A and B are shown apart, each in its own frame.
Chain A
Amino acid sequence: MPIIINLDVMLARRKMSLTELSDRVGITMSNLSILKTGKAKAVRLETLEAICKALECQPGDILEFRAD
């Protein structure tokens, strides 16, 4: 899939663990793990909004398009 999710990069920049993000956003660890590993088929706008709020960043910081 050409859409890359840079969640781990943003987590490292903010020095935040996945568990902490899970607590703040209200998404289960397994779902965050699916998102992080790039297995997710779709992301809801409200989830993206919550992640951006928690990480204090823009959607573009998390999502990236890279042509195959």
Chain B
Amino acid sequence: MKTQIKFIKLAYLVILTLTFAFGFIYGGRESFEEGYNEASNIEGSKKLSPMLIKANNPLFLNLKDHVSGDSLNLNISYLADVRVFKKSQDTTSLLDALSFLKGCILLIITFFALRVLVYLYRFIDSIQRGDVFSTENIKRLSLMGYYCMSIPFVILGLDLITYTINKSFFKNLPYKVVYQGDFDFWLLIFGLTLLTIAFVFKKGIEIKQENDLTI
């Protein structure tokens, strides 16, 4: 039992460290690529940065022909040399605002994911201390549930913003970006399960108090 809890705690710590490390390395790499692509702008045209063409799938971009209605999947490697028409002045401010919003949403998702991991660690720590049915644990479980339930909606918003950004890039081409947002139902169900467990814990506290006060 003790070894099992120690193993779970260690796993949480490893995941937490990896999330931090991956977040910094990945975010740093993306920012570097974006900055690099911005610097290599050629007059009248703009090289598409990998971050911006990431619609809903990191590897493929779904395009649709306006006239024939044929859909086309483009691999990210083919798009590396694609040049699109330069953004007009009035759309630039909107795109900047959308990009800023996208960054904020990414931060929110990271914050939620980290909070869930931290709460899970604290939860398992309190169980190891023998403090299973406590109000803190109920609070942790409920918050984890709410965070998990809100993440799919936030991701949906992120998909919509990415779609809007990509659509504005391809408006001068005979193709149209197809929206392909997916809703993470499993995370929603997981959040609901956590809320149910929190409710069971609440009932458990009531039973424990009743048992403690039976002389």
Residues in chain A within 8 A of chain B (CB atoms): 27, 31-32, 34-35, 39-44, 47
Contacts and interface: CB of A to CB of B under 8 A. Distances in A.
A39 B213 contact: yes
A56 B60 CA distance: 86
Interface residues of B, number: 5
A34 B210 CA distance: 12
Contacts of B213: 34, 39-42
23 contacts: A27-B215, A31-B215, A32-B215, A34-B213, A34-B215, A35-B215, A39-B213, A40-B213, A40-B214, A40-B215, A41-B209, A41-B210, A41-B213, A41-B214, A42-B210, A42-B213, A42-B214, A42-B215, A43-B214, A43-B215, A44-B214, A44-B215, A47-B215
Contacts of A31: 215
Nearest to A48: B215
A44 B213 CA distance: 11
A26 to B, nearest CB: 12
Nearest to B214: A42
A4 to B, nearest CB: 15
A42 B213 CA distance: 7
B78 to A, nearest CB: 71
Nearest to A31: B215
Nearest to B209: A41
A31 B214 CA distance: 9
Contacts of B214: 40-44
Contacts of A27: 215
Closest 9 CB pairs of A and B: A41-B213, A42-B214, A35-B215, A31-B215, A40-B215, A41-B210, A40-B213, A47-B215, A43-B215
A39 B209 CA distance: 11
Contacts of B209: 41
Contacts of B215: 27, 31-32, 34-35, 40, 42-44, 47
Contacts of A32: 215
Nearest to A35: B215
